[in-house]
Structures are given as structure tokens and as C-alpha cells.
Amino acid sequence: MFTTGSKLLIGSAAAAWILAAVYGIAQGGTLGSIGLISAAIALSLLAGINVLARDSNVSANEPAGFGASAAAQSTARPSLWPLLVALGATTMTLGLVTNRTFFTLGLIAVIAGTLEWLIQGWSERASGDETYNARARDQMVDPLELPVAGAILAAIVVYAFSRVMLGLPTKTATVAAFAVVATLALGIGTLVAVKRGASKTTLGGTLSIVLVALVAGGVVAGLVGEREIEPHHTTGDLAAKNECTAEETEADEKASQSVASKSNVTAEITYKDEELRAKVPGYNDNFAQLTLQRSNPSNILFHNESDEHARLVIELHPATDDNGQPLGPERVCTALVESGGSQLLTVVIDQPSFVVEEGFAFTVAGSDAELQVVVP
């Protein structure tokens, strides 16, 4: 005698075979016939398995099988891991046509959800005691799950904070927004401390809402994009663009006009009365010529004792490659130094002086002051 499930599957398989034959004869379509035949084969296989297993029914004449039947087993506990796997698969599919980051996140979600789902399924069959099963599951995965989950959560929070900070239009808005967030955090913490009887469910729900709001803000800010941040110009930019002139530029604004005590200073160069003079540690005299080591960094301390702003400049005449491109910076310079101010300039010269036709020399932009440099 066939069971109800077997009858349904046998009927479905027979209908699929008949429809496949009718479609193949009437329409002559290859693709449709293949689909119907595939469905018929699958239904026939399931029907055969169901007939052999008799719908997992236990005969009344076999009381020993009552305890091992499917109906006697406890039902599986509710689980969110299948939802995570489905969400990860959807994100992977979205990432295939949009962004590699979505694909990577989806893949991680699928792997994590699958592993957790398998471990939960194993633990539920470890014994007939649900408490023991839960303890076995925790002992197996907690040493790995808790640190990884904490690290992922911290990374999500930090990244979401960074997206929100960079997404706000100005620094002032960033400060104001996080002042409000800090105030709310302090207020929530105060309420929790005052109301000591708050349940874990309430606390968990509140923190979950805050986390979801933070992540949502980070996602929105990330999709909108970062605010436009103007580049900060430096003296290196001036040197690269050959703009080491006597004119004040953005790189000179708010430039430090003093230098802290430095060790390993190669020389001190002073600009005074339209002249440059060098003083070398260990000597009391001022020199009109300076010797620097080749291919070694030389720290030059520049003092402006003139009545005008001054910028110290040196052309490096770097070696070139086979295509004529320079192998290093063509020049270096300081920011504009106010009267009485100082700047530190680090110079690396990779060629001896005799290789360069005009030699090396420190100059002051906009003046005729010059200090010859000898590189052995």
C-alpha cells in the first residue's frame, strides 16, 4: 500500500513524463522537452526513494523503531544562520555586477553562516539533553567565535565612524555631530547606572539600535562619498613645480619660524646684508664655501637675519636615467623665513661637484646671495 507522499510524487512524475511527451510531439521544442524530462527524472527519483522509505512511517508491528523515527526526534531550534547564508549569497550576486567589496563581504557571510549552521546542527544531535547540547556547542566555538566577533564588531564601528567623519561637509560639522553623539552616550550610560535593575534584554536592544544606527550612518556616508579635502601644499610641491621664489605661497602660510635644538646639524647658514655665510660645528669662523658629503643627508640650519623674508634654495642637478628623467628631486628649498626666523633644510646630493658644470650653490630666492657647495 502506497503512502500519501508516495502517491503525490508518483502522480507528479507521471504527469511530468506525459507533459514532456506531449510538448515534444506538439511543439518540437528541444529546450522545453529537456526541462520537462529533467523534472520527470527528478520526481521519479524522489518517488522511488519515498516508496522505499515509506514516508519515514514506522509500522505498528515494529515498536522498536518508534524511538528512532523522525517524528520522535526533537525539532531543530530556531536559527538565524540560514538567513545569514541567504543574505551573503544575495550580496555575492550583487557584488558580481557592482563592486568587489560587496562580493567579498557576501563570501565571508556565506562561509561564517555555513560553519555556524553546521556546528549548531551537530550540537543539537549531540545528546537528548538540550542544556548539554548548548554547553557542548559553546565549548567548541566560543574560544574562536568571541574574539573574531569582537574584532569584526570593533572594525565595523571604527570604519562606520570614519565614513561618517569623512562624509560630513566640514570639520565644524564633524565636531558638532560627535559632540551630540558623546552627549547621548553619556546620557544613556547615566540612565543605565541609575536604573540598576535594567534587564539584559533591554540593554542589548538599546545597544543594538545604536549599533544599527551607526552602521546605517556609515553606509549612507560611504555611498554619498567623502567631502572634498583640499591638498596641503608643502615646500616639496614648490620645489617640484620650480616655484621656489621670493613670493609667498600657500605652503608658506603658518610655517614654523623656529627650530628646536637639533643634533647632527651639518652647518648653519646665515643670510645677512645680502650675503650667505656658513658656520660649521667645531669652527668659530664663517665660511663663504661649504663642503658636504656625497649621497648622505646633510641637515642645514638656515637663519634669516635680514630685514626681508627669505627662502633658501639649492639646485641639486640630479643624475638622469636612460630616458633623461631625473633620478631624484631637482631642487629643495625652505618655506619663507621671516626676519629673525629659522628653518631646517635636509639636502642629499648624489653627484660630485666636478660632474656639474656650474657646481652646487645655496642661493636666496630673489637676491644675488650665493654660497658655493663642494661635494667631493
Single-letter code of the amino acid located at 184:
L
* Weakest mean pLDDT among 110-114, 175-179, 204-208, 271-275: 204-208
Q: Any idea where the domains of the chain sit in the sequence?
A: 4-73, 126-224, 235-374
Query: pLDDT for 112-160, tens place per residue?
Result: 889 888 888 888 777 767 778 878 888 888 888 788 888 888 888 788 7
Q: Which CATH class is domain 235-374?
A: mainly beta
Q: Would you state the pLDDT for residue 39?
A: 87
Q: Which residues pair with 135 in a beta bridge?
A: none
Query: pLDDT for 220-248, tens place per residue?
Result: 776 676 666 666 777 877 787 887 888 88
Query: pLDDT for 16-62, tens place per residue?
Result: 888 888 888 887 667 777 888 888 898 888 888 877 766 666 555 55
Average pLDDT over residues 213-222: 74
| Alpha helix ranges (H) inside 225-317 | 235-240
Tell which wins on pLDDT, 70 or 165. Answer: 165
Single-letter code of the amino acid located at 16:
A
Question: What does the DSSP 8-state code read for residue 326?
Answer: B
pLDDT higher than threshold 80 for residue 338: yes
Q: Which residues pair with 211 in a beta bridge?
A: none
In this structure, the strands spanning 275-279 and 370-374 are: unpaired
Q: Would you state the pLDDT for residue 370?
A: 92
- The fraction of the chain above a pLDDT of 90, given in percent, is 18
The total number of residues written for the chain in this structure: 376
How is residue 278 written as a grid cell?
656658513
Question: What does the DSSP 8-state code read for residue 170?
Answer: S
Query: pLDDT for 76-85, tens place per residue?
Result: 667 888 888 9
The whole-angstrom separation of Cα 174 and Cα 158 is 15
Q: Would you state the pLDDT for residue 238?
A: 79
Instruction: Yes or no: say if 54 and 62 are a contact pair by the CB < 8 Å rule.
Output: no
Find, among 303, 273, 277, the residue nearest to 290 by Cα: 277
Residue 66, CA distances (Å) to 58, 73, 155 in order: 7, 10, 51
